[in-house]
Every structure is written in structure tokens, then in C-alpha cells.
A and B are shown apart, each in its own frame.
Chain A
Amino acid sequence: MNELGSISPELLVASVMVASTPILLAGLGELVVEKAGVLNLGVEGLMIIGAVCGFAMSVITGSVLAGVLAALVGGALLGLVFAVLTQYLLSNQVATGLATTLFGLGLASLIGKPFIGVRPPEMPRLRVEFLSDLPFIGHVLFSHDPVLYLSLGMTLLIWYFLRHTKKGLILRAVGENHDAAHSIGYKVRQTRILAIMFGGAMAGLGGCYLSLVRVPQWTEGMTAGAGWIALALVVFSSWRPLRVLLGAWLFGGVTVLQLNLQAAGVGIGVAYLSVAPYVVTIIVLVLISANRSQRLLNAPACLGRSYYISS
């Protein structure tokens, strides 16, 4: 296995972190949505809308920041469509999620048409004097872009929000028993709509990280199932933010390893290697779902159920 020896370990770890960031962001967003009792299967569509909005805006304005903002807004807006349909019109969440994905994929390729083959402006990296120059650690930990650090910060923030703040408690209560939450006087619908929009923005951010940093270019259908993997990640994490991070690193690791093996020309067909992330997702899902009682305890009890309240 001397081909493997040529892969530098520090580059490997750094690229795992980059590869895991999109699904981490989208997964965290979906976690908040599901904790509020809503199943949004539209993550794939939200991500690709974020990817194209971020890409297009940063190419047009030349500013990465504008691109990131556009991705956040784009994701949140498409999320709002899902929210209005499921919360006001009480549509089936599974069907609406699928519609969000199909619509998002179509709209993204429509918007993205003029941007195929264009190079986006580069996202600046945060460099800290001294720290970034440290051997190994410097490269692995202190030489990334701000969005990656933001995704790590969001993991902690969401964990803290859900576990230790009253607003987080209300969000969990709404997802746990919407009737009880309503009878105490909390606004179920409003809470859920905000959660869905937050989830949309996070997925959008994850998407634009793909098109601006990870790839970086625009191609049709470039999310290639990342949104679905993010959904799987939430199940894998048993609805716990820190485990979303763990899962994201696992999937990121598999993806990077697979790419590196391809590059190193290991004697397995490219196609067979490239199925690895999907197959690993399935295997992990099976392992998690086999341990059922633990999973059900953490699952929001109202997940996927519509709620009708008087106006």
C-alpha cells in the first residue's frame, strides 16, 4: 500500500474537515427543524439553492460575503415556502419535502445556467500569526476559512441553545407535544416556521460551501445527495448536535479517503469507490436503527405530524 503513503496525513485531516462542513451545516439545521417536530425532506433542494445563490451572487458582486448572505437568504426563503405549505396549508410533510427538493433542483439549474465553467472568487482563510505556522496543528486547525469555524461554533451554539436556554426548551416542547405546548400558550406554528427558516438558511450555507470552497465551481446537481446524507446524519446523531459533528466527520472521512484512493490509483474501479459515501450512509443507518429504544427516546414525538390550531 505504498500509494497510500503518498497522502499527507495533515492534508488528509484538513480536507476531511472541509468535506464534512456542508453536511454538518445542513444536518445541524435539520436537527433544529426536527426538534421542533417538523420533518423537512427538502434539504437537498435547500442546499442546492444555497449553492447556486451563493455562487451566482459572489461571481456577480465579486464578494464572497455577499454570496454567503445570498445563500442564507435563498435557503431561508425556500424553507419559508415549505413552512407556509406545511404549517398554514397543513400539507403532508413528506410530499412537500420532496416537492421542495425537486423544485430546488430545477430552479438551481435554471439560475446556474450562465455560471457553468466560471471560477468564483476565493474565500479568504483566517490566518492567526504563529498558530497557523505551527507544524501539523497549524495546518489542521488554524488555516481554514471562516465558514468552517462558524460551522463548529454553530454546533456548540445549537447544543447550548437546545439544552440550556428557555427558548430551546420551548422549541423542544413544541416538537414533543404540540397540543400541550399550545395549551400552555406557546405559539406552535410560529416556532416551527422560524425553525424551518433557520434550517433552510443553514442548508443554504452548507450548499454554498460546496460551490464556493469545496469544489469550487457550479455544476448541475452538484449536491449529489449531500442533503439526503445530512438527513441521515440527524437520524445517526439521535438528534444530538455534538453527534452530528461526529457523523459529519465520519462521512467526510469516507468521502476524502475514497477520493484519495481514486487519485492514488488503487486497483479498484473508480465507480466502486465512489459509491462508498452512500453505502456507508446505509450501513450506519442500519446500525443506528437496530438500537431502537435509545433512538425513539430522543426522537421528537410529534415529528412529521401536522398541527391544526384555531387562528
Chain B
Amino acid sequence: MSKADTHRTDAGRQFGPLLCLQELSKAYPGVQACDQISMSIDHSAIHALLGENGAGKSTLVKMIYGLVRPDSGSMSFNGSAFAPAQPRTARAAGVAMVFQHFSLFEALTVSENILLSLDDAQMAGIAERIRGVAESYHLLLEPGRMVGDLSAGERQRVEIVRCLMQNPKLLIMDEPTSVLTPQEVDSLFGTLRRLAGEGTSILYISHKLEEIRELCADATILRQGKVVDSCDPRECSAEQLAEMMVGTSIGRAGSKQKMRDRILLRVAGLSLENSAPFGVNLSDINFDLHAGEILGIAGIAGNGQDELQGALSGELPVSSGQCQLHGEDVITHSSSRRRKLGLLTAPEQRLGHAASPDMSLTENTLLSGTLRMKLAPRGIVDWKHTRRFATDIIEGFDVRTSGTQAAARSLSGGNLQKFLIGREILQKPEVLVVNQPTWGVDANAAAAVRRALIQLADAGSGILVISQDLDELLEISDRIAVLSAGRLSRSLPTSETSRTEIGLLMAESQDATS
């Protein structure tokens, strides 16, 4: 029996607060990330920390984990003062953390990854310890495997096992479900409830309201760095929680008109071999996209989403298959030629893929608008015309910025995304492929982006929305298919499907491959 296990059975249930925060503040240049935050987390509680992107959740937990030092305020942990100067100190006190973007090393093995966060452990015997802990929580894990070869769910198991091996009193989970299938979420919740039952407190960070209502008994809500409310989420409706979180109620994206029959884009037998380390291959992708339709592609990131976007845009060479735009096969066309014909894309990664970080908005307009907007006739750039187009985007999509000369990286995530989506939409695409259109974007900007996509579809364009956010897809798309391990499932009309069914589709295509 493992060390971790004995610890847990010994620990009786205690009551009263485990962690108290008093008036914690932290400012960054130009922004007060946390403003006098006070809250407490009880022993054995699953406590939700709720807030939008940029509300200060991440900064707050980084202070608890010793990654960021507060400017002012104090903390106490288990009854004694607590001011960790580095993660090592926090870990020694009993705080463990599962990061939103996994802090794992792809080219290292599971054992090596776990070893790195155990301050006292040495290499010998680590594999056995991992197996022991993993088995006692029914988490399947093979210590010798390379993390880069693991799925998102498996990677999260690595993170969780890594935390469990530190025998934590407090486990912090930062947006843990964003990369999981609905079924994986259920099993994660099972693990968390069991841990809480054994005496571990859990600080659960999320902006997914239904999840929090299901799992947590306490919630603290942050908005713009301040605690605005606390409640028992089981007794609140999702709408109430949303209003506390955002401050105002957000309009839904609006309804769509009926879809038309004309096929704009037909993808048949598309396969792609990825040469990058740990890259995903696409195999035999088939779908039709009609005029005026939004086709949603659900699935966890890292299952071929970027590859699909790249294959359609022409950035990645495919090994076989067809991609017909208006009946013309464009699969051998360069990305410029596809763009000219009306096939536009908006990649997931904004800075460094869709936009050039250090360049101005004008220069970034030229990036994808050169051909369709005729910004560089005969290769000579017409900067005046380009600047005018950039201004049109900024005005048309309510982009908050100091002007067309602002560098792309100076914009907030939401504003940049509005600019980038606007850049493609104003080029009047026949087909628009968007990958994770609202990832890391605040709720208002996200709603604006969704509305714009629906309007574009209503105007007759075909839109392929690749997104991890199932709620988003259920809201805006006409049909939904699931991309998993590089394979695309059959598509289902949104009106006739449910979360569970899509979850099953995810699992189904995974089983088919493994």
C-alpha cells in the first residue's frame, strides 16, 4: 500500500477553514489583477472560484501557490501564517496545483515529469510509487510513456497523480475540464469527491456554471479583481451565477434563418501525415458544408483541430483526399489561391499565427487581405488603401484600440479576436473556417464574435466552426460532428442532439482508434 494511501485513511475529517486570504492585492503595470481579496476555504470542501477571463482567478491562485508574491494582504494556512516565496514552500505546506495549460514536458516520460515536482524524490523507485498511487485512485497511467504521446485526458491524470503524490491538504484545479470529454469530466468529478471525502480541500476554478452547480458547495465570484459575491451554487441558477460573474446579462447570439441546400465545400477522404513530434495525423475526413450553414466540429484540442484548419487553408500539405470549393478541387492550390477563390480561415492561435505580434494592425490587415482586397496591386503595397481597410475593421467590429498603428500584441484577447474575425468576414468569404473562435476571449467579445458568424452565415456563406466549447457549438451551429484522434464522426443536426450524445460520439471515435 502506498504512502499516499495511508496518509489519507489516517486523516479524519476536520472542520473550519483550511486557507484564509485577507485583503490580498496584486497589481501589474496598467491593471489591478487582484484587489483586496478576502475569502476562506474549509477543510474537505470543494470550493469554486468563479470569474471571467481576466477576473484575477489565475493571479490569485498563483499567489497561493507561491508563483507570484502579493503586493499586500496576508494568508493563513491550517491555522498558521502562510507566505510562500516559491512553489516549493507552498508544496511543502501541502498545496498542490493542476494547471490550466498543463505544466508538463512533452519530451519527458511520465515518471520524469512527476519526479520534477517531487522535491524530495530521486529517480530510483519512482515508477512503482506512481503505479501505487494511480491504482489506488483507479487512474490508469504508464510511468514509462512519453507525455507527448498521451491524450489530453491522460495528461491530466499525470497532473493529478503528480499532485496526489505530494499528499496535498489543498488541491487547486485551474479550469480542469476544458480539455475533457463529458465522460472524462464525470470520472474526474468522482475522483475529486472521493478526495474531498478523505479530507482534502479543493479549490476549483472554472467559468463553466453547470459544472460548478454540480460539484461545489461554496463559490466565490470574482470580477475585475474583486470579490463581488459568494454563494452556494447548488442554490443558484446558472443565469444568476452568470450575472454575478459578468455584471450584466449577456444576450444570446440570436437565431438563425433556415439553411439552404447548395453545397459550397465538399471534403472527401482527406488524410494528412504530420511530421512534427507528437503531431496528430488526419485520416479520411469527409463532410459537406452548405451555403448559409454553420457546421460545428466538436472535440478536445490536440485531436487534429489545428491540422484540419491547416489542411483546409493550404498551410499543411495533405497526403490524399479532395477539397472541392464550388465543385473545383482546391487541395493542390496554394493558400493564396484558395483565399482568392473565397476559402478563408481564422486559426486558433492569435499571436504568432493569425497575427504578427509586433506588427501594426495595418500591417496585420495586409497579412490575409492582400489578394481579395487588392491591397498590393502588382506586388506594390498600397498602404493608404490598407490603412482604410484596417479602419473599416476596427469600426465595423467595435475593436477597442489606440488606432491602426497599434501593435497586434498590445490588444486584449477579445479585441484582437474581433479584429481578426472581422478581417476575414469583411473580405466576404464563400467559406470561412474558424478554429476556437472564442478561446480566451471575454464573454462580451465572445458573444459579438458569435453574432458576427451567424450574420455571415445568414448572408449565405458556409462556416466551419472548430471549437472545444460544446455549449458554443450547441448555440450557433446547424450540425455538429466530432473530431477525435484525427477522425471525424458523422454529423448530427444540432436540434436533434444533446451533450451526452456528442460525448458518446467522442468516446466512439476514440475507441475506434485505440
Q: Which residues of A contact B (CB under 8 A)?
A: 164-166, 169-170, 172-173, 176-177, 179-186, 292-293, 296-298, 300-301, 310
Contacts and interface: CB of A to CB of B under 8 A. Distances in A.
B275 A293 contact: yes
Nearest to A182: B67
B174 to A, nearest CB: 11
B175 interface: no
Contact of A184 (B108, B117, B276, B277): B117
Contacts of A297: 107, 277
Given A169-B115, A169-B116, A185 B67 contact: yes
Main secondary structure of the interface of B (DSSP, over half): loop
Nearest to B275: A293
Contacts of B104: 177, 180
A173 B122 contact: no
Given A165-B123, A173-B108, A293-B277, A183 B87 contact: yes
B108 A172 contact: yes
26 contacts: A164-B123, A166-B115, A169-B112, A169-B123, A173-B105, A176-B105, A176-B108, A177-B103, A177-B105, A179-B103, A180-B103, A180-B104, A183-B67, A183-B87, A183-B99, A183-B103, A184-B87, A184-B116, A185-B66, A185-B67, A185-B86, A185-B87, A293-B277, A296-B277, A301-B106, A310-B68
Nearest to A295: B277
A169 B110 CA distance: 13
Given A185-B66, A185-B87, 17 more contacts: A166-B115, A169-B112, A169-B115, A169-B123, A173-B108, A176-B108, A180-B102, A180-B103, A180-B105, A181-B105, A183-B103, A184-B116, A293-B275, A298-B107, A301-B106, A301-B107, A310-B68
Given A184-B116, A185-B67, A292-B275, A166 B122 contact: yes
B88 interface: yes
Contacts of B102: 180
Contacts of B116: 169-170, 173, 181, 184, 186
Contacts of A300: 107
Interface of B: 66-68, 86-88, 91, 99, 102-108, 112, 115-117, 122-123, 275-277
Contacts, number: 60
Contact of B276 (A180, A185, A186, A296): A296
A177 B277 CA distance: 14
Contacts of B112: 169, 173
A301 B278 CA distance: 12
B30 to A, nearest CB: 15
Contacts of B117: 184
A293 B275 CA distance: 7
Contacts of B276: 296
Nearest to B162: A184
Contacts of B107: 176, 297-298, 300-301
A293 B106 CA distance: 15
Nearest to B86: A185
Nearest to B278: A297
Contacts of B103: 177, 179-180, 183-184
A51 to B, nearest CB: 35
A2 to B, nearest CB: 50
